[in-house]
Every structure is written in structure tokens, then in C-alpha cells.
Chains A and B, each alone.
Chain A
């Protein structure tokens, strides 16, 4: 079963606007990660937030984590057409995850229109 549920499933915005994607998960985690996938390509790691962190920034990306609500959000500021892609959250559950397995959500499809 999928650990993560992402919301919305699809998001369409204009260039320059901010995009916010949300992820909820079910179990305790070591960390939560966000990945981007351009159409027909592999996944690219964007950012990782540890379970003891609440917010993290990387360039135009801002990730928040609320472990009490088991939820995370990814904010992309000042979006560009090149940000058009699918975005996935993935968690590293604990305990009992000896293999460091990632559990993925189903993704949010972001379309940024010029």
C-alpha cells in the first residue's frame, strides 16, 4: 500500500505564480523526500527533510514537515515553464525499515503555463 497521499493530483498555474503541493503519510518516518519527474524521464531528487526538522529551503523550493499531522508541503516560488513535471513525495518509514526503502505517493502533476 502507498504510504503517501498527494494533493492535488494535478495543478495548473501561470508562470511567476507559486505552486504548493501537499503530502500526507501514515507511519513514523526517518525522513521525507521530494522528487521531480519530467515526462518520460527518471526521477530527480529535490530535497530531503529529516523527521526532526520543520522547514527546509533550497533555492526556490521550500519544504515543511509536520510530524504531528503526518504531512508535508512543497512550495515552488516564482514558478517557470521548466518546472512543469510530476512531483512525488517519498518517505523512509521507521522502525523496521532495514533496507532504507522509500514509499512513494502517487504524485502531483504540475503544469506551468508561460
Chain B
């Protein structure tokens, strides 16, 4: 599992409340990613980070923000949760050093978020 943990593993919240999900890694990888998984859509990238305080948007970033103040932690915040953000959220780290030729991503166990 490449030393990746996610917390919480399950969360139920109400529309309009802020929610923060945490991803923690123990192996000092530079790149970290947040995806969401929904039926019929597979996994879609929300945001990613390429170092401390260095982040960029993915395919479905609206309504989400991220922060990375330490190498080991990557936080995903839903500023004002909506029902459309009900999903399973996965964090991933990337290994490899040859500019993408053999980079592999390893995933955390996921967080199931329900927004009522």
C-alpha cells in the first residue's frame, strides 16, 4: 500500500458544511494526487501536488481546494459540500524518476463521503 493512509474512511455531512479529507504518506514521495470515483465515470483527477506548497488543478477541481504544508500530508477541502460531491475519494502517490516513462501510482484505501 506504499504507506498511504486516508482519514476519515467514512464521513456523512450536510450540504453547505466544509469538509477536509487527509492523505498521509510515509515514504517521502514528491507527487500526490486526489481522485474521485463515481459510477459510470471511473476515477477523475481533482488536484495534484508536486511538492510542498506546489499544487495544480485536475479535471474536476471546481468546489475543491488542496493544501500541502508538509511532504507527508495532502489535504483536500470541500469548501461548501454539495450533494454532487458525494463520492469515494482516493489519494495516490507517484513513484518513478524517469519523467513519466515508468511512473506508477499507488492508491490509498479511499474515503467514502456522503453529503445529505
Contact = CB atoms under 8 A, between A and B. Distances in A.
Interface stretch (A10-18, A64-72, A91-99): A91-99
Interface in A40-55: 41-45, 48, 50
B74 interface: no
A99 B90 contact: no
Nearest to B91: A42
Interface string A21-44: 000000000110101000001111
Interface in B47-63: 48, 50, 56, 58-59
A44 B100 CA distance: 19
A2 B42 contact: yes
A104 B100 contact: no
Contacts, number: 71
Contact of A45 (B41, B43, B105): B105
Interface of A: 1-2, 4, 30-31, 33, 35, 41-45, 48, 50, 88, 90, 92, 94, 97-107
28 contacts: A1-B59, A2-B41, A2-B44, A30-B100, A31-B103, A33-B104, A35-B107, A41-B109, A42-B107, A42-B108, A45-B104, A45-B106, A48-B102, A48-B104, A90-B43, A92-B103, A99-B31, A99-B50, A99-B56, A100-B31, A100-B96, A101-B33, A102-B33, A102-B105, A104-B35, A104-B42, A106-B40, A106-B42
Interface of B: 1, 31, 33, 35, 40-45, 48, 50, 56, 58-59, 90, 92, 94, 96, 100-110
Given A30-B101, A42-B108, A104-B35, 4 more contacts: A30-B103, A42-B1, A45-B105, A106-B40
